[in-house]
Structure 1
Amino acid sequence: MSATLTLNGSESIRVLESTPDRFEVEATYAPRGERPPKHVHPHHDESFTVLVGTVRVGFADHEQDYPAGESFVVPRGTAHHMWNPGDEPAVLRWLSTPAGRVEAFFTDMDRLHREDRASLVGLAGVLHRYRDVMRPTSPVTRAAVRVLGPLSRGGRA
């Protein structure tokens, strides 16, 4: 399997393995990329190995840079977000276990970008539909997802 999916304007993934237990990708983060909203994954753990460059991870109480060669784990329920603060692309190996609906979530995010529908309502629709995969931690963002999500083709991307 080698599908490449766009997650936002600065992040894409290439699918390496997808089973019910494991969803493994190689992620590329563009230089000086977008800082996504903090979020949690209620049902899966994530583990990362930085292959090239540096990625910055913001946790609930601190930020930490991980350069090439380092690995880290984000257990389910842990508030986090990550981006590339550097001037060169960052490449990571990223594993989600169990996989659940992670691939479907990423596929719908990619579809939004390919169809030029990555608006606030479109993104809220995907987050609303996949709240079992990813939940924003900000109360304002969660409220927007609750209100706007159902307006996006009945909550479907």
Structure 2
Amino acid sequence: MLAGALHVEVGGRRRQLTTGELLDILPNTAHRMWNPSGEAARARWETRPGGRTEQWFRGLAALQGTDWVNQDGQPKPLAFAALASEHQDTFRLAGPQWAVRPALVAASAIARLRGFRAPPA
């Protein structure tokens, strides 16, 4: 963490990550991070192999200021599903993939029917 703090959940365990701390996440380990405060948080993120991780985060950032995010700046479910579907090689929702993937594809199709277009990478 470069500045501020993030809440993290890795493999079902939650903790707070603060300035100066490091976090390693093993491949194929379910994880999520969020900033519950109004304070800025800055982190350096490295992914190995990198894949299209940068494009995933750029896509999320490009949604800001559109109707595809809620008042907190979080992607609405259909937009998130469509973006996740576009980045299945990089991002996978936790859960049994036999159930997750069809739901993701269906929600992504609905998003496209409603006008969603994945932001350019």
The reply to whether TM is greater than 0.5 is yes
Q: Write out per-residue CA displacement over residues 48-105 of structure 1, whole angstroms, 9 at most, x where no aligned residue.
A: xx11122221122311222211111112201111112456322111112222112222
Match of 1:151 among 90, 110, 114: 110
Matches within 5 A, 1:71-110: 71-86=22-37, 88-110=39-61
Deviation at 1:115, TM superposition (A): 4.0
Match of 1:106, SS? helix
Greater CA drift, 51-60 or 78-87? 78-87
Q: Which has the higher strand share?
A: 1
Say how many residue pairs are matched. 108
Indicate the residue corresponding to 1:133 in structure 2: 90
Task: Name 1:122's counterpart in structure 2.
Answer: 79
Unpaired stretches in structure 1, ≥5 consecutive residues: 1-49
1:53 equivalent in alignment to 2:29: no
Structure 1 residues 10-49: Cα deviation after superposition (integer angstroms, max 9, x where no partner): xxxxxxxxxxxxxxxxxxxxxxxxxxxxxxxxxxxxxxxx
Higher RCO (CA 8 Å, separation ≥ 6 residues): 1
Bigger share in helix:
2
What percentage of aligned pairs have identical amino acids? 30
Three-state SS of the structure 2 residue aligned to 1:51 is: coil
1:146 aligned counterpart, secondary structure: helix
Distance in structure 1 (CA, Å) of the matches to 2:104 and 2:22: 32
Q: 1:145 and 1:105 mapped to 2: Cα distance?
A: 16
Residue pair 2:10, 2:25 contacting (<8 A) in 1 also:
no
Distance of aligned partners of 1:61 and 1:126 in 2 relative to their CA distance in 1, 3 Å threshold: closer
Under a length normalisation based on structure 1, what TM-score does the superposition of the two structures give? 0.56
Give the CA RMSD over aligned residues: 2.7
Q: Which secondary structure does the structure 2 equivalent of 1:73 belong to? A: coil
Counterpart selection for 2:17 from 63, 66, 78: 66
TM (norm. structure 2) is 0.69
